[in-house]
Amino acid sequence: MSPRNPGQRAGLTRVRVVGAARDLLAESGALEALTMRALAARLEVSPNALYSHVSSKDGLVDEILDDVLAEVAAPADSGAPAAGLHALMVSTYEVLLAHPELVPLYLARQGARGPNAQRLGDVMLELLARAGVEGERAREALRVLIVYTIGFAAFATRAPVAEPGTTGTQLEENFHSGLRWLLMGIELGARGAGAPAPA
Amino acid sequence: MSPRNPGQRAGLTRVRVVGAARDLLAESGALEALTMRALAARLEVSPNALYSHVSSKDGLVDEILDDVLAEVAAPADSGAPAAGLHALMVSTYEVLLAHPELVPLYLARQGARGPNAQRLGDVMLELLARAGVEGERAREALRVLIVYTIGFAAFATRAPVAEPGTTGTQLEENFHSGLRWLLMGIELGARGAGAPAPA
DNA sequence: ACCTGAACACCGTTCAAGT
DNA sequence: ACCTGAACACCGTTCAAGT
């Protein structure tokens, strides 16, 4: 029945397990498809063998989510900070769109919290500081930009049948203009006295 | 063992089932707590009895999510449209915060799609039209505002231990200022020539 | 029409045992 | 240390049967 007897090894490693999990998600496109048992079947091991390399399913998913953020391109240090922030969020948005099957997981976990997520946050804070936004207002702007980007990626990766008139490029224009609106407001807030007046 | 024999009725109705499901979510605060079997136990029926009143678990959740949106207060027709939009999004935000256990479900399903959600969308489009934003740009603004509001509610309802320095009122200020930034950009875009220039 | 009993086809995870 | 076999404690849902 089984290709191995108890005691024989299957050559599993942590990276092989995580990689197979990513493949499983990418091929099926549905997060329900990522089950420990399906992952074990793909690797031709018994389900409990995975727990020798991964602490739990949640730990596995956390690692996948943070890994993907390594693909986000940090902007050059030279340009204008607002342009850098715009480029950074666009790159994040594009990375999320390139992994549409992961977006619901980012939503459910509300972002990643690993080393790559930390690094991106630091870059954003540097850019904000150069734009004159620091302290509490910088942390505000950081959250607003992250929430906006993940939220928009969620909309963009939703089954397009929901709103038939909306194409992908329209949504991308949409993302850009909303982002410009936000950055304009953030910069105006930095130049003026605190936040803009209520409407 | 069971309080009833086959053929005896338990007095279940659709509204009783949906109400018990909402209670279960509100009391536990965790979406994993909403299982058909736990719901059946709370109602003192066998799990499959629920399927006489509800098509599936997904259908049940959809109904809960749209029901909650009935609590959102539509602004008075008299005031300025930007103020009306601001008030409408704040009311939505507050309703979401009042039901923190539902926010992950709105995220997972990316909003509701029932009659109440439809009604709110129509109100927003009317306000945008009065602000001079129509057609494709109005649909853009609608999506941006919805995404921003649900996304922010997700951040606000996250376990506060994640960022220890952030209090609830700080986050609310945060939501307001980001919303002002957005509305300012939307209005400027309506007055000027299309979207603001890229950063 | 509304409910129960029993079952089907799944989950994540743990425990003991083998090398 | 790494794997299997077996099991535990769950899921959502369906099917047949009872009144």
Tens of pLDDT, residue by residue over A158-171, are 654 345 556 677 77
Distance B93 CA to C3 C1' (A): 41
pLDDT at A128: 94
Mean pLDDT, residues B89-118: 90
Are B105 and B65 in contact, with CB atoms under 8 Å apart?
Answer: yes
Q: Which of residues 47-76 of A touch strand D (CB under 7 A)?
A: 47-49, 52-53
Residues 6+ apart with CB under 8 A from B3: B44
Report the distance from CA of residue A112 to the C1' of nucleotide D5 in Å, as an integer. Answer: 36
Q: Is the pLDDT of residue B187 over 90?
A: no
A166 token code pair? 């909306």
Residues of A in contact with B143 (CB under 8 A): 152, 155, 174
CA distance A90 to A96: 10
Average pLDDT over residues A165-185: 79
- Burial status of residue B108 (CB atoms within 10 A of its CB: 0-12, 13-18, 19 or more): middle
pTM assigned to the model: 0.86
Asked if pLDDT for residue A1 goes beyond 70, the answer is: no
Contact A181 B144 (CB under 8 A): yes
Mean pLDDT lowest among A20-24, B79-83, B151-155:
B151-155
Q: Is the pLDDT assigned to residue A98 strictly greater than 90?
A: yes
pLDDT for the residue numbered A163: 53
Residue B20 is predicted with a pLDDT of 98
Distance CA A170, CA A187 (A): 26
pLDDT of residue A162: 44
- Kindly state the average pLDDT of the residues B183-191: 73
% of chain A with per-residue pLDDT over 70: 88
pLDDT digits (tens, 9 = 90+) for A116-161: 999 999 999 999 999 999 998 888 888 889 988 988 888 788 654 3
pLDDT of B2 reads: 75
Do A142 and A85 touch, CB atoms closer than 8 A? no
**Of A108 and B117, more confident:** B117
Give the pLDDT score at B178: 85
Give the residue nearest to nucleotide C17 (CA to C1'): A6
Alpha helices (H) in B29-167, listed in sequence order: 36-43, 57-68, 81-98, 103-109, 115-130, 135-156
Are B182 and A181 within 8 A, CB to CB?
yes
Top pLDDT among A124 and B182 is at A124
Q: In Å, what is the separation between the CA of B10 and the C1' of D18? A: 15
Return the closest-CA partner of residue A137 out of A148, A149, A125, A146.
A125
